[in-house]
Amino acid sequence: MLAMINKNEQFHKGSKQIDIRGKMCPLTFVYTKLALEELGKGTILEVYLDFPPALKNVPESCKRQGIAELLEIKKHQSDKPEWIMILKKL
């Protein structure tokens, strides 16, 4: 199940967030795609993840399917490797 998080640390005003830490490919893309389908064009999605291959696979799949573009990947402050992938719905 998608874990929606609503933290005060949004990187983009009005963005939506999903937390898919603990998920592996191809589920990382499936959860991201489902979240993007609920958003309007131009909306920003912040994806919290910890599976390194998803840093390449998710943006490539989004681009290939024409559903989102990668804006940025940020290292998330944590005691283990985690990132925040910033996507813009097309």
Catalytic residues: 25
Four-CA torsion 62, 67, 72, 77, nearest 10 degrees:
-80
